[in-house]
Chains A and B, each alone.
Chain A
Amino acid sequence: AQKITQTQPGMFVQEKEAVTLDCTYDTSDQSYGLFWYKQPSSGEMIFLIYQGSYDEQNATEGRYSLNFQKARKSANLVISASQLGDSAMYFCAMSPRGGPNTGNQFYFGTGTSLTVIP
């Protein structure tokens, strides 16, 4: 069974500081993808960053980076230089190796609410 755990229901960070949002996962698959999404108060789901299980380098996208530790099964999101617009819910998701019947299934964590303080 696939499981994603986000242990931080809420986080606060000072504007311009860096913050790390934790995500651990449990899977027996060797090939899988890890994703982070942002959900602002307006409700839409915004894709932020992707890490493949066989990628040797940690993924980066602008101010977002993914701290991938495969042996520990963790995929933490790091946001550098926080901005007020970063205040939102953040979801970690995992997609195991898909097949003809399962396609591209995602398993989501319960999310972390980030508040950026001016």
Chain B
Amino acid sequence: NAGVTQTPKFQVLKTGQSMTLQCAQDMNHEYMSWYRQDPGMGLRLIHYSVGAGITDQGEVPNGYNVSRSTTEDFPLRLLSAAPSQTSVYFCASSYNYLSLGNQPQHFGDGTRLSIL
């Protein structure tokens, strides 16, 4: 039972480079989301998806792009990396509220990203 799988676990980029953080879940969850965690700021929502083909912006979407072509996968793309995007990124999934009411989100182990 893999749960939520994020790759890579660590990455160092140069300013201006692009990359994709991968996220996959095997629990058939409709809802998936990406957060960034910075010291003293908790987790902030970047983008989310309520199902395949549907995505929307969260609190801090600038500089990031997402797509949801399947229920299982929800990749996060950094278009042109900036030092301000140095952070720990978490992917999470859950059933939609409309399916089962409030549900805990299941988190991946995180990706530690450094932009030089």
Contacts and interface: CB of A to CB of B under 8 A. Distances in A.
B50 A101 contact: yes
Interface in A33-70: 33, 35, 37, 43-45, 47, 50, 52
Contact of B42 (A32, A99, A110): A110
B19 to A, nearest CB: 20
The interface size bin for chain A is: 20 to 34
Given A91-B42, A97-B97, A32 B102 contact: yes
A105 interface: yes
A98 B42 contact: no
Contacts of B88: 43
Interface residues of B, number: 33
A114 to B, nearest CB: 15
Contacts, number: 79
21 contacts: A33-B103, A35-B104, A44-B109, A47-B105, A47-B106, A50-B102, A50-B104, A91-B42, A99-B98, A100-B50, A101-B50, A102-B97, A104-B103, A104-B105, A105-B45, A106-B43, A106-B105, A108-B35, A108-B42, A108-B44, A110-B41
Interface of A: 4, 9, 32-33, 35, 37, 43-45, 47, 50, 52, 91, 95, 97-111
Interface of B: 30-31, 33, 35, 40-45, 48-50, 56, 58, 88, 90, 92, 94-98, 101-107, 109-110, 112
